[in-house]
Protein backbone atom coordinates (compact mmCIF):
# COMPACT_ATOMS: atom_id res chain seq x y z
CA UNK A 1 0.00 0.00 0.00
CA UNK A 2 1.17 3.51 -0.85
CA UNK A 3 0.27 5.17 2.45
CA UNK A 4 1.73 2.49 4.71
CA UNK A 5 5.20 3.25 3.32
CA UNK A 6 4.79 6.75 4.71
CA UNK A 7 3.35 5.92 8.13
CA UNK A 8 6.60 6.71 9.93
CA UNK A 9 6.86 10.13 8.29
CA UNK A 10 3.22 11.03 8.77
CA UNK A 11 3.24 9.98 12.40
CA UNK A 12 6.03 12.42 13.19
CA UNK A 13 3.10 14.78 13.54
CA UNK A 14 0.90 13.05 16.16
CA UNK A 15 -1.99 15.25 15.12
CA UNK A 16 -2.07 13.15 11.91
CA UNK A 17 -2.77 9.98 13.85
CA UNK A 18 -6.53 10.56 13.94
CA UNK A 19 -6.62 11.08 10.17
CA UNK A 20 -4.51 7.97 9.56
CA UNK A 21 -6.81 5.86 11.73
CA UNK A 22 -9.80 7.16 9.80
CA UNK A 23 -8.07 6.38 6.50
CA UNK A 24 -7.35 2.81 7.60
CA UNK A 25 -11.07 2.26 8.21
CA UNK A 26 -12.02 3.84 4.89
CA UNK A 27 -9.61 1.51 3.07
CA UNK A 28 -10.87 -1.47 5.05
CA UNK A 29 -14.52 -1.02 4.08
CA UNK A 30 -13.51 -0.75 0.41
CA UNK A 31 -11.52 -4.00 0.46
CA UNK A 32 -8.18 -2.30 -0.08
CA UNK A 33 -6.53 -3.84 2.96
CA UNK A 34 -7.33 -7.40 1.91
CA UNK A 35 -6.51 -7.39 -1.81
CA UNK A 36 -3.67 -9.87 -1.32
CA UNK A 37 -5.87 -12.05 0.91
CA UNK A 38 -8.48 -12.31 -1.88
CA UNK A 39 -5.83 -13.31 -4.42
CA UNK A 40 -4.73 -16.07 -2.03
CA UNK A 41 -8.34 -17.10 -1.28
CA UNK A 42 -10.26 -16.86 -4.57
CA UNK A 43 -12.97 -19.42 -3.79
CA UNK A 44 -14.53 -18.09 -0.59
CA UNK A 45 -18.29 -18.04 -0.16
CA UNK A 46 -19.53 -14.63 -1.42
CA UNK A 47 -21.33 -12.13 0.79
CA UNK A 48 -24.56 -12.72 -1.14
CA UNK A 49 -24.78 -16.25 0.30
CA UNK A 50 -24.12 -14.88 3.80
CA UNK A 51 -26.96 -12.38 3.33
CA UNK A 52 -29.31 -15.17 2.37
CA UNK A 53 -28.48 -17.12 5.55
CA UNK A 54 -29.10 -13.98 7.64
CA UNK A 55 -32.50 -13.54 5.96
CA UNK A 56 -33.41 -17.15 6.74
CA UNK A 57 -32.39 -16.68 10.38
CA UNK A 58 -34.55 -13.56 10.63
CA UNK A 59 -37.51 -15.44 9.16
CA UNK A 60 -37.06 -18.06 11.88
CA UNK A 61 -36.89 -15.42 14.60
CA UNK A 62 -40.07 -13.80 13.29
CA UNK A 63 -41.82 -17.15 13.16
CA UNK A 64 -40.83 -17.80 16.77
CA UNK A 65 -41.95 -14.28 17.70
CA UNK A 66 -38.52 -13.25 18.92
CA UNK A 67 -38.52 -10.23 16.60
CA UNK A 68 -41.15 -8.42 14.54
CA UNK A 69 -41.40 -8.73 10.81
CA UNK A 70 -39.57 -5.89 9.05
CA UNK A 71 -41.11 -3.68 6.42
CA UNK A 72 -39.68 -4.39 3.00
CA UNK A 73 -37.19 -1.85 1.67
CA UNK A 74 -36.71 -1.07 -1.98
CA UNK A 75 -34.12 -3.02 -3.92
CA UNK A 76 -30.65 -1.45 -4.02
CA UNK A 77 -29.83 -0.44 -7.57
CA UNK A 78 -26.29 -0.23 -8.92
CA UNK A 79 -26.76 3.50 -9.39
CA UNK A 80 -27.20 3.80 -5.60
CA UNK A 81 -23.76 2.32 -4.81
CA UNK A 82 -21.65 4.91 -2.96
CA UNK A 83 -18.44 3.29 -4.30
CA UNK A 84 -17.31 0.09 -6.00
CA UNK A 85 -16.70 -3.06 -3.97
CA UNK A 86 -14.76 -6.26 -4.67
CA UNK A 87 -16.79 -8.80 -6.67
CA UNK A 88 -17.31 -11.14 -3.71
CA UNK A 89 -18.76 -8.33 -1.55
CA UNK A 90 -22.36 -7.07 -1.52
CA UNK A 91 -24.12 -3.81 -0.83
CA UNK A 92 -26.96 -4.22 1.65
CA UNK A 93 -28.81 -2.17 4.22
CA UNK A 94 -27.39 -1.92 7.74
CA UNK A 95 -30.42 -3.79 9.13
CA UNK A 96 -29.68 -6.70 6.76
CA UNK A 97 -26.68 -7.58 8.95
CA UNK A 98 -28.61 -8.09 12.18
CA UNK A 99 -31.37 -6.93 14.54
CA UNK A 100 -31.81 -3.20 15.16
CA UNK A 101 -33.29 -1.47 18.21
CA UNK A 102 -33.56 1.99 19.73
CA UNK A 103 -33.05 2.28 23.46
CA UNK A 104 -35.69 3.31 25.94
CA UNK A 105 -35.62 4.87 29.42
CA UNK A 106 -38.01 3.35 31.97
CA UNK A 107 -39.79 5.83 34.23
CA UNK A 108 -37.36 7.41 36.68
CA UNK A 109 -40.28 8.05 39.03
CA UNK A 110 -40.52 4.36 39.72
CA UNK A 111 -37.61 3.31 42.00
CA UNK A 112 -38.41 -0.35 41.35
CA UNK A 113 -37.00 0.06 37.83
CA UNK A 114 -33.55 1.26 38.94
CA UNK A 115 -30.88 -0.94 40.47
CA UNK A 116 -27.82 -2.98 39.55
CA UNK A 117 -29.22 -5.96 37.65
CA UNK A 118 -27.99 -4.68 34.25
CA UNK A 119 -25.97 -1.55 33.28
CA UNK A 120 -27.91 1.31 31.70
CA UNK A 121 -25.77 2.97 29.02
CA UNK A 122 -25.99 6.59 27.87
CA UNK A 123 -24.13 8.36 25.01
CA UNK A 124 -21.24 9.45 27.27
CA UNK A 125 -20.40 5.76 27.90
CA UNK A 126 -19.85 4.94 24.22
CA UNK A 127 -16.25 4.90 22.91
CA UNK A 128 -14.70 3.40 19.78
CA UNK A 129 -12.54 1.28 22.08
CA UNK A 130 -15.63 -0.11 23.79
CA UNK A 131 -18.67 0.72 25.89
CA UNK A 132 -17.94 1.88 29.44
CA UNK A 133 -20.17 0.46 32.13
CA UNK A 134 -21.94 3.14 34.18
CA UNK A 135 -22.75 2.81 37.86
CA UNK A 136 -26.44 3.37 37.16
CA UNK A 137 -28.43 0.33 36.10
CA UNK A 138 -31.85 -1.28 35.86
CA UNK A 139 -33.58 -3.94 37.89
CA UNK A 140 -35.24 -6.95 36.25
CA UNK A 141 -38.48 -4.99 36.33
CA UNK A 142 -36.76 -2.01 34.76
CA UNK A 143 -35.30 -4.17 31.99
CA UNK A 144 -38.76 -5.53 31.20
CA UNK A 145 -39.76 -1.91 30.52
CA UNK A 146 -36.54 -1.13 28.61
CA UNK A 147 -34.42 -2.79 25.94
CA UNK A 148 -32.03 -5.72 26.26
CA UNK A 149 -28.92 -5.08 24.15
CA UNK A 150 -27.01 -8.34 23.86
CA UNK A 151 -23.25 -8.40 24.16
CA UNK A 152 -21.42 -7.86 20.88
CA UNK A 153 -23.93 -5.28 19.63
CA UNK A 154 -23.02 -2.09 17.80
CA UNK A 155 -24.25 0.93 19.81
CA UNK A 156 -24.38 4.34 18.13
CA UNK A 157 -25.42 7.76 19.40
CA UNK A 158 -28.26 9.02 17.20
CA UNK A 159 -28.73 12.62 18.38
CA UNK A 160 -26.83 15.80 19.16
CA UNK A 161 -23.21 16.82 18.89
CA UNK A 162 -21.88 13.29 19.39
CA UNK A 163 -24.16 11.73 16.76
CA UNK A 164 -22.35 8.88 15.01
CA UNK A 165 -20.13 7.96 17.98
CA UNK A 166 -20.15 4.19 18.24
CA UNK A 167 -18.76 1.19 20.10
CA UNK A 168 -19.45 -2.47 20.86
CA UNK A 169 -20.64 -3.71 24.26
CA UNK A 170 -18.90 -6.74 25.76
CA UNK A 171 -21.71 -7.71 28.16
CA UNK A 172 -25.48 -7.45 28.03
CA UNK A 173 -26.69 -3.90 28.75
CA UNK A 174 -29.69 -1.64 28.33
CA UNK A 175 -29.59 1.92 26.99
CA UNK A 176 -31.61 5.10 26.56
CA UNK A 177 -33.46 6.39 23.52
CA UNK A 178 -30.51 8.46 22.30
CA UNK A 179 -28.82 5.27 21.12
CA UNK A 180 -29.55 3.01 18.15
CA UNK A 181 -28.20 -0.54 18.27
CA UNK A 182 -27.55 -3.44 15.94
CA UNK A 183 -27.02 -7.01 17.15
CA UNK A 184 -25.22 -8.78 14.25
CA UNK A 185 -26.24 -12.14 12.84
CA UNK A 186 -23.27 -14.10 11.39
CA UNK A 187 -21.40 -10.79 10.90
CA UNK A 188 -18.43 -9.83 13.04
CA UNK A 189 -19.19 -7.03 15.48
CA UNK A 190 -15.84 -5.39 14.75
CA UNK A 191 -16.63 -5.27 11.04
CA UNK A 192 -19.91 -3.49 11.77
CA UNK A 193 -18.10 -1.09 14.11
CA UNK A 194 -15.37 -0.38 11.55
CA UNK A 195 -17.94 0.47 8.89
CA UNK A 196 -20.04 2.62 11.24
CA UNK A 197 -16.95 4.53 12.44
CA UNK A 198 -15.97 5.69 8.94
CA UNK A 199 -16.43 9.14 7.47
CA UNK A 200 -18.56 7.50 4.77
CA UNK A 201 -21.09 6.22 7.30
CA UNK A 202 -21.05 9.42 9.38
CA UNK A 203 -21.72 11.55 6.31
CA UNK A 204 -24.52 9.21 5.28
CA UNK A 205 -26.39 9.59 8.57
CA UNK A 206 -25.77 13.34 8.79
CA UNK A 207 -27.16 13.80 5.27
CA UNK A 208 -30.31 11.94 6.31
CA UNK A 209 -30.67 13.39 9.81
CA UNK A 210 -33.26 16.01 10.69
CA UNK A 211 -32.60 19.15 12.71
CA UNK A 212 -29.67 21.46 11.98
CA UNK A 213 -28.91 22.75 15.49
CA UNK A 214 -29.46 19.32 17.08
CA UNK A 215 -29.21 16.61 14.40
CA UNK A 216 -31.15 13.40 15.01
CA UNK A 217 -31.58 10.26 12.94
CA UNK A 218 -34.40 7.85 13.70
CA UNK A 219 -34.04 4.09 13.57
CA UNK A 220 -35.82 3.73 10.23
CA UNK A 221 -33.39 6.03 8.43
CA UNK A 222 -30.39 4.74 10.37
CA UNK A 223 -30.99 1.06 9.63
CA UNK A 224 -31.57 1.78 5.94
CA UNK A 225 -28.05 3.22 5.49
CA UNK A 226 -26.12 1.31 2.82
CA UNK A 227 -23.58 -1.15 4.21
CA UNK A 228 -20.59 -2.73 2.35
CA UNK A 229 -20.61 -6.40 3.43
CA UNK A 230 -17.55 -8.67 2.90
CA UNK A 231 -17.68 -12.49 2.90
CA UNK A 232 -17.41 -13.91 6.42
CA UNK A 233 -13.88 -15.39 6.01
CA UNK A 234 -12.65 -12.04 4.68
CA UNK A 235 -14.24 -10.26 7.64
CA UNK A 236 -11.80 -12.09 9.91
CA UNK A 237 -8.88 -11.00 7.72
CA UNK A 238 -10.12 -7.39 7.71
CA UNK A 239 -10.44 -7.25 11.49
CA UNK A 240 -6.96 -8.72 11.99
CA UNK A 241 -5.40 -6.28 9.50
CA UNK A 242 -7.23 -3.24 10.90
CA UNK A 243 -6.27 -4.12 14.47
CA UNK A 244 -2.63 -4.59 13.47
CA UNK A 245 -2.47 -1.29 11.58
CA UNK A 246 -4.23 0.66 14.34
CA UNK A 247 -1.78 -0.83 16.85
CA UNK A 248 1.12 0.31 14.63
CA UNK A 249 -0.29 3.83 14.51
CA UNK A 250 -0.72 3.80 18.30
CA UNK A 251 2.89 2.68 18.75
CA UNK A 252 4.25 5.28 16.30
CA UNK A 253 2.20 7.99 17.98
CA UNK A 254 3.53 6.98 21.41
CA UNK A 255 7.11 6.87 20.13
CA UNK A 256 6.76 10.30 18.57
CA UNK A 257 5.16 11.70 21.71
CA UNK A 258 8.05 10.33 23.79
CA UNK A 259 10.56 11.76 21.32
CA UNK A 260 8.89 15.16 21.50
CA UNK A 261 8.89 15.01 25.28
CA UNK A 262 12.62 14.27 25.36
CA UNK A 263 13.30 17.08 22.93
CA UNK A 264 11.10 19.40 24.96
CA UNK A 265 13.11 18.50 28.07
CA UNK A 266 16.26 19.53 26.21
CA UNK A 267 14.65 22.78 25.12
CA UNK A 268 13.49 23.46 28.69
CA UNK A 269 16.96 22.82 30.08
CA UNK A 270 18.54 24.99 27.38
CA UNK A 271 16.15 27.88 28.00
CA UNK A 272 16.75 27.55 31.75
CA UNK A 273 20.49 27.85 31.09
CA UNK A 274 19.89 30.88 28.88
CA UNK A 275 18.29 32.74 31.76
CA UNK A 276 20.92 31.58 34.24
CA UNK A 277 24.19 33.21 35.19
CA UNK A 278 26.22 31.78 32.30
CA UNK A 279 23.87 32.61 29.44
CA UNK A 280 26.47 33.41 26.78
CA UNK A 281 27.77 29.83 26.53
CA UNK A 282 24.26 28.37 26.56
CA UNK A 283 23.16 30.80 23.86
CA UNK A 284 26.13 29.92 21.63
CA UNK A 285 25.42 26.20 22.08
CA UNK A 286 21.69 26.45 21.36
CA UNK A 287 21.49 28.91 18.49
CA UNK A 288 22.86 26.58 15.73
CA UNK A 289 20.11 24.08 16.62
CA UNK A 290 17.14 26.46 16.57
CA UNK A 291 15.48 24.87 13.54
CA UNK A 292 15.98 21.33 14.90
CA UNK A 293 14.68 21.93 18.41
CA UNK A 294 12.19 24.77 18.00
CA UNK A 295 9.99 23.01 15.46
CA UNK A 296 6.77 23.12 17.51
CA UNK A 297 4.63 26.17 18.26
CA UNK A 298 4.96 25.87 22.02
CA UNK A 299 8.76 25.76 21.69
CA UNK A 300 8.80 28.96 19.66
CA UNK A 301 6.49 30.65 22.16
CA UNK A 302 8.85 29.73 24.98
CA UNK A 303 11.81 30.97 22.96
CA UNK A 304 10.09 34.35 22.56
CA UNK A 305 9.59 34.48 26.31
CA UNK A 306 13.24 33.58 26.91
CA UNK A 307 14.38 36.34 24.55
CA UNK A 308 12.37 38.92 26.50
CA UNK A 309 13.63 37.54 29.81
CA UNK A 310 17.24 37.80 28.64
CA UNK A 311 16.64 41.28 27.28
CA UNK A 312 15.33 42.80 30.50
CA UNK A 313 18.12 41.17 32.52
CA UNK A 314 20.81 42.72 30.31
CA UNK A 315 22.05 39.35 29.07
CA UNK A 316 21.52 40.09 25.38
CA UNK A 317 23.74 43.15 25.54
CA UNK A 318 26.72 41.91 27.56
CA UNK A 319 29.03 42.23 24.57
CA UNK A 320 27.51 45.61 23.68
CA UNK A 321 28.45 46.91 27.14
CA UNK A 322 32.01 45.66 26.69
CA UNK A 323 32.19 47.60 23.44
CA UNK A 324 30.57 50.74 24.96
CA UNK A 325 32.09 51.11 28.45
CA UNK A 326 31.66 54.89 28.68
CA UNK A 327 27.89 55.19 28.20
CA UNK A 328 25.89 57.48 30.45
CA UNK A 329 24.49 55.34 33.30
CA UNK A 330 20.79 54.90 33.88
CA UNK A 331 21.02 56.90 37.14
CA UNK A 332 21.75 60.04 35.12
CA UNK A 333 18.86 59.26 32.76
CA UNK A 334 16.56 58.98 35.78
CA UNK A 335 17.71 62.38 37.01
CA UNK A 336 16.88 63.95 33.65
CA UNK A 337 13.48 62.24 33.65
CA UNK A 338 12.86 63.57 37.15
CA UNK A 339 13.77 67.11 36.07
CA UNK A 340 11.41 66.87 33.10
CA UNK A 341 8.57 65.65 35.35
CA UNK A 342 9.19 68.56 37.72
CA UNK A 343 8.99 70.99 34.79
CA UNK A 344 5.71 69.50 33.58
CA UNK A 345 4.26 69.78 37.10
CA UNK A 346 5.54 73.33 37.49
CA UNK A 347 3.99 74.40 34.18
CA UNK A 348 0.67 72.70 34.98
CA UNK A 349 0.81 69.97 32.31
CA UNK A 350 0.60 67.10 34.82
CA UNK A 351 -0.37 66.79 38.46
CA UNK A 352 2.17 66.23 41.19
CA UNK A 353 1.88 62.71 42.55
CA UNK A 354 3.04 61.16 45.77
CA UNK A 355 6.61 59.97 45.52
CA UNK A 356 6.68 56.16 45.10
CA UNK A 357 8.23 54.12 47.92
CA UNK A 358 11.94 53.40 47.90
CA UNK A 359 12.98 50.07 46.41
CA UNK A 360 14.06 47.49 48.95
CA UNK A 361 16.75 44.98 47.85
CA UNK A 362 14.42 42.08 48.67
CA UNK A 363 11.94 43.33 46.04
CA UNK A 364 14.31 42.74 43.10
CA UNK A 365 14.21 39.29 41.53
CA UNK A 366 17.55 39.31 39.68
CA UNK A 367 20.84 41.19 39.44
CA UNK A 368 21.25 43.89 36.80
CA UNK A 369 24.40 45.34 35.18
CA UNK A 370 26.22 48.11 37.08
CA UNK A 371 25.21 50.80 34.59
CA UNK A 372 21.49 49.95 35.04
CA UNK A 373 19.15 51.20 37.74
CA UNK A 374 16.03 49.78 39.35
CA UNK A 375 13.13 52.26 39.35
CA UNK A 376 9.35 52.35 39.73
CA UNK A 377 7.16 52.70 36.66
CA UNK A 378 5.81 55.96 38.14
CA UNK A 379 9.38 57.36 38.07
CA UNK A 380 9.39 57.33 34.26
CA UNK A 381 5.81 58.34 33.44
CA UNK A 382 3.76 61.48 33.00
CA UNK A 383 0.54 59.74 33.89
CA UNK A 384 -0.86 56.29 34.68
CA UNK A 385 -4.66 56.19 34.50
CA UNK A 386 -7.55 54.13 33.24
CA UNK A 387 -10.80 54.81 31.42
CA UNK A 388 -14.42 54.37 32.37
CA UNK A 389 -17.57 52.59 31.27
CA UNK A 390 -19.85 54.60 28.94
CA UNK A 391 -22.82 53.11 30.76
CA UNK A 392 -21.63 54.58 34.05
CA UNK A 393 -21.43 58.02 32.43
CA UNK A 394 -24.73 57.85 30.54
CA UNK A 395 -22.94 57.71 27.18
CA UNK A 396 -24.19 55.60 24.28
CA UNK A 397 -22.33 53.54 21.70
CA UNK A 398 -22.68 54.93 18.16
CA UNK A 399 -21.82 53.95 14.59
CA UNK A 400 -18.48 54.74 12.97
CA UNK A 401 -18.33 58.38 11.90
CA UNK A 402 -20.82 59.45 14.58
CA UNK A 403 -18.46 59.61 17.56
CA UNK A 404 -14.97 58.80 18.83
CA UNK A 405 -13.03 55.54 18.72
CA UNK A 406 -13.43 53.62 21.97
CA UNK A 407 -10.61 51.19 22.79
CA UNK A 408 -11.42 48.18 24.98
CA UNK A 409 -9.38 45.25 26.28
CA UNK A 410 -10.27 43.14 23.24
CA UNK A 411 -8.36 45.67 21.09
CA UNK A 412 -5.14 45.36 23.12
CA UNK A 413 -2.91 42.43 22.18
CA UNK A 414 0.68 41.56 22.98
CA UNK A 415 2.84 44.20 21.26
CA UNK A 416 0.10 45.23 18.86
CA UNK A 417 -3.46 46.51 18.74
CA UNK A 418 -6.22 44.27 17.39
CA UNK A 419 -8.80 45.94 15.19
CA UNK A 420 -11.10 43.06 14.26
CA UNK A 421 -13.90 44.97 15.92
CA UNK A 422 -13.96 48.73 16.54
CA UNK A 423 -16.36 50.46 18.90
CA UNK A 424 -17.39 54.12 19.00
CA UNK A 425 -19.04 56.26 21.66
CA UNK A 426 -20.60 59.71 21.72
CA UNK A 427 -18.09 62.59 21.64
CA UNK A 428 -19.30 63.88 25.01
CA UNK A 429 -17.42 61.00 26.62
CA UNK A 430 -14.21 63.02 26.14
CA UNK A 431 -15.68 65.94 28.06
CA UNK A 432 -16.70 63.61 30.90
CA UNK A 433 -13.43 61.62 30.96
CA UNK A 434 -10.68 63.94 29.64
CA UNK A 435 -7.96 62.20 31.64
CA UNK A 436 -8.19 59.06 29.48
CA UNK A 437 -8.13 60.74 26.06
CA UNK A 438 -5.45 58.89 24.11
CA UNK A 439 -2.33 60.34 22.54
CA UNK A 440 -0.37 58.68 19.79
CA UNK A 441 2.46 56.77 21.47
CA UNK A 442 0.60 55.95 24.69
CA UNK A 443 1.24 52.46 26.04
CA UNK A 444 -2.02 50.59 26.69
CA UNK A 445 -2.26 47.69 29.13
CA UNK A 446 -5.15 45.36 29.91
CA UNK A 447 -5.73 45.31 33.67
CA UNK A 448 -8.81 43.09 34.10
CA UNK A 449 -9.69 39.48 33.37
CA UNK A 450 -8.04 36.73 31.35
CA UNK A 451 -6.16 39.16 29.07
CA UNK A 452 -4.49 40.93 31.99
CA UNK A 453 -1.00 42.16 31.06
CA UNK A 454 -1.42 42.35 27.30
CA UNK A 455 0.37 45.56 26.33
CA UNK A 456 0.66 47.52 23.07
CA UNK A 457 1.32 51.05 21.81
CA UNK A 458 -1.51 53.24 20.55
CA UNK A 459 -0.12 54.20 17.15
CA UNK A 460 -3.08 55.98 15.56
CA UNK A 461 -3.24 59.71 15.04
CA UNK A 462 -6.95 60.01 15.81
CA UNK A 463 -9.15 61.03 18.75
CA UNK A 464 -9.90 58.06 21.01
CA UNK A 465 -10.64 57.05 24.60
CA UNK A 466 -10.54 53.85 26.65
CA UNK A 467 -12.72 51.82 28.99
CA UNK A 468 -12.15 50.78 32.59
CA UNK A 469 -10.34 47.53 31.65
CA UNK A 470 -7.47 49.39 29.98
CA UNK A 471 -4.83 51.66 31.49
CA UNK A 472 -2.74 54.39 29.85
CA UNK A 473 0.98 54.45 30.59
CA UNK A 474 2.29 57.74 29.21
CA UNK A 475 6.09 57.88 29.43
CA UNK A 476 8.34 60.91 29.82
CA UNK A 477 9.86 61.54 26.38
CA UNK A 478 13.42 60.71 27.52
CA UNK A 479 12.44 57.05 28.10
CA UNK A 480 12.43 54.50 25.27
CA UNK A 481 8.84 53.49 24.63
CA UNK A 482 9.99 50.40 22.73
CA UNK A 483 12.11 49.15 25.65
CA UNK A 484 9.29 49.67 28.14
CA UNK A 485 6.95 47.78 25.80
CA UNK A 486 9.38 44.83 25.80
CA UNK A 487 9.57 44.83 29.58
CA UNK A 488 5.82 45.11 30.13
CA UNK A 489 5.28 42.07 27.86
CA UNK A 490 8.08 40.05 29.44
CA UNK A 491 7.48 37.02 31.71
CA UNK A 492 9.13 38.99 34.53
CA UNK A 493 6.52 41.73 34.40
CA UNK A 494 3.59 39.40 33.70
CA UNK A 495 4.54 37.37 36.78
CA UNK A 496 4.76 40.57 38.82
CA UNK A 497 1.29 41.59 37.60
CA UNK A 498 -0.29 38.36 38.75
CA UNK A 499 1.46 38.64 42.11
CA UNK A 500 -0.06 42.10 42.57
CA UNK A 501 -3.56 41.42 41.25
CA UNK A 502 -6.42 42.46 43.50
CA UNK A 503 -8.97 39.66 43.01
CA UNK A 504 -7.97 36.08 42.24
CA UNK A 505 -11.48 35.21 40.98
CA UNK A 506 -11.35 37.97 38.35
CA UNK A 507 -7.78 39.31 38.10
CA UNK A 508 -7.45 43.08 38.06
CA UNK A 509 -4.69 45.59 38.75
CA UNK A 510 -5.03 48.85 40.65
CA UNK A 511 -3.40 52.06 39.45
CA UNK A 512 -1.41 52.10 42.67
CA UNK A 513 0.11 48.69 42.04
CA UNK A 514 0.87 49.51 38.41
CA UNK A 515 2.71 52.69 39.39
CA UNK A 516 4.89 50.61 41.74
CA UNK A 517 6.02 48.15 39.04
CA UNK A 518 9.77 47.55 39.30
CA UNK A 519 11.60 48.44 36.08
CA UNK A 520 15.18 47.31 35.37
CA UNK A 521 16.24 50.50 33.57
CA UNK A 522 19.26 50.41 31.22
CA UNK A 523 21.07 53.49 29.89
CA UNK A 524 19.12 55.05 27.02
CA UNK A 525 21.61 53.98 24.36
CA UNK A 526 21.52 50.42 25.65
CA UNK A 527 17.72 50.46 25.63
CA UNK A 528 17.92 51.12 21.90
CA UNK A 529 20.50 48.36 21.45
CA UNK A 530 18.26 45.92 23.34
CA UNK A 531 15.27 46.78 21.16
CA UNK A 532 17.34 46.21 18.00
CA UNK A 533 18.63 42.82 19.16
CA UNK A 534 15.18 41.70 20.31
CA UNK A 535 13.68 42.72 16.96
CA UNK A 536 16.26 40.57 15.18
CA UNK A 537 15.61 37.57 17.43
CA UNK A 538 11.85 37.96 17.16
CA UNK A 539 12.27 37.98 13.38
CA UNK A 540 14.09 34.66 13.75
CA UNK A 541 11.20 33.36 15.84
CA UNK A 542 8.81 34.52 13.10
CA UNK A 543 10.83 32.50 10.57
CA UNK A 544 10.73 29.42 12.79
CA UNK A 545 6.96 29.83 13.20
CA UNK A 546 6.52 30.24 9.46
CA UNK A 547 8.47 27.02 8.85
CA UNK A 548 6.22 25.20 11.31
CA UNK A 549 3.07 26.52 9.63
CA UNK A 550 4.39 25.67 6.15
CA UNK A 551 5.35 22.17 7.27
CA UNK A 552 1.90 21.61 8.74
CA UNK A 553 0.26 22.78 5.52
CA UNK A 554 2.53 20.54 3.41
CA UNK A 555 1.93 17.60 5.75
CA UNK A 556 -1.83 18.09 5.64
CA UNK A 557 -1.77 18.50 1.83
CA UNK A 558 0.31 15.33 1.48
CA UNK A 559 -2.04 13.35 3.65
CA UNK A 560 -5.09 14.62 1.75
CA UNK A 561 -3.39 13.78 -1.55
CA UNK A 562 -2.62 10.28 -0.27
CA UNK A 563 -6.23 9.86 0.80
CA UNK A 564 -7.50 11.00 -2.60
CA UNK A 565 -5.09 8.69 -4.42
CA UNK A 566 -6.00 5.67 -2.35
CA UNK A 567 -9.73 6.23 -2.37
CA UNK A 568 -9.77 7.04 -6.09
CA UNK A 569 -8.04 3.75 -6.74
CA UNK A 570 -10.96 1.93 -5.14
CA UNK A 571 -13.21 3.14 -7.91
CA UNK A 572 -11.43 0.80 -10.32
CA UNK A 573 -13.08 -2.55 -10.89
CA UNK A 574 -11.02 -5.46 -9.60
CA UNK A 575 -9.54 -7.58 -12.27
Strand partners, 444: 456, 472
- 1 has pLDDT over 60: no
CA atoms within 13 A on the CB side of 248: 14
Domain 45-230 is classified in which CATH homologous superfamily?
A: DNA methylase specificity domains (3.90.220.20)
Classified as helix, coil or strand, 164 is coil
Class of domain 348-522: alpha beta
Element holding 339 (H helix, E strand): helix 330-346
Closest CA to 567 of 237, 191, 83: 83
Residue ranges, comma separated, of all CATH 3.90.220.20 domains in the chain are 45-230, 348-522
Q: Which helix (H) or strand (E) holds 127?
A: strand 126-127
Give the Å distances, CA to CA, from 313 to 381, 389, 519: 21, 37, 10
Spatial contact of 223 and 156, defined as CB atoms under 8 Å apart: no
Angle between helices 17-28 and 232-274 (to 10 degrees): 170
What pLDDT is recorded for position 269?
61
Q: What is the pLDDT of residues 12-62, one digit of tens each?
A: 555 677 888 888 999 999 999 999 999 999 999 999 999 999 999 999 999
Q: How would residue 83 be classed by pLDDT, with cut points 50, 70 and 90?
A: very high
CA atoms of 418 and 405, how far apart (whole Å) = 13
First to last CA, the chain: 17
Q: Cα angle at 168 between 166 and 170, to 5 degrees?
A: 155
Rounded distance between C-alpha atoms, residue 148 and residue 189, angstroms: 17
3-class DSSP assignment, residue 566: helix
Angle between helical axes of 297-312 and 232-274 (0-180°, round to 10): 10
Contact 312, 490 (CB under 8 A): yes
What is the rounded CA–CA span in Å between residue 258 and residue 137?
40
Position 146 scores a pLDDT of: 94
Tell me the three-class secondary structure of 270-321, residue by residue. HHHHHCCCCHHHHHHHHHHHHHHHCCCHHHHHHHHHHHHHHHHCCCCCHHHH
Please tell me the distance from the alpha carbon of residue 241 to that of residue 236, in angstroms, as a whole number.
Answer: 9
pLDDT one-digit tens code per residue, 304-327: 888 888 889 998 888 899 999 999
Query: pTM for the complete prediction?
Result: 0.59
* 125-134, 273-282, 357-366 — most confident range: 125-134
Nearest to 355 by CA among 322, 379, 330, 319: 379
Amino acid sequence: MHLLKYFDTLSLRPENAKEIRALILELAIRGRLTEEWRRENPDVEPASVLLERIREEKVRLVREKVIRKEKKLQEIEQADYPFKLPKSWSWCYLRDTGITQTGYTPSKRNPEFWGNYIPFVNPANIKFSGVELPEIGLTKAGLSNGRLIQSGSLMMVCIGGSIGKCGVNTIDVSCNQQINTLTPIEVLSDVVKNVCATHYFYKSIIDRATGSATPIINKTKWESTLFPLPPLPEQHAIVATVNRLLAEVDELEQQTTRFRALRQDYVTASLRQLTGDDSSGAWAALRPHFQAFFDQQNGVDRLREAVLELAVQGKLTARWREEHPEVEPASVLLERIGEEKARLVREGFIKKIKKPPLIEPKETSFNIPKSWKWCRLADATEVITKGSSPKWQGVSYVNEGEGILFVTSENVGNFKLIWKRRKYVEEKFNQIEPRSILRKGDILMNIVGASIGRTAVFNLDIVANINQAVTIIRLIEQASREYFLLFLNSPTCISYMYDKQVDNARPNLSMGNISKFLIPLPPLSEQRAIVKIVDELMALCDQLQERIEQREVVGADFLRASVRELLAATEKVEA
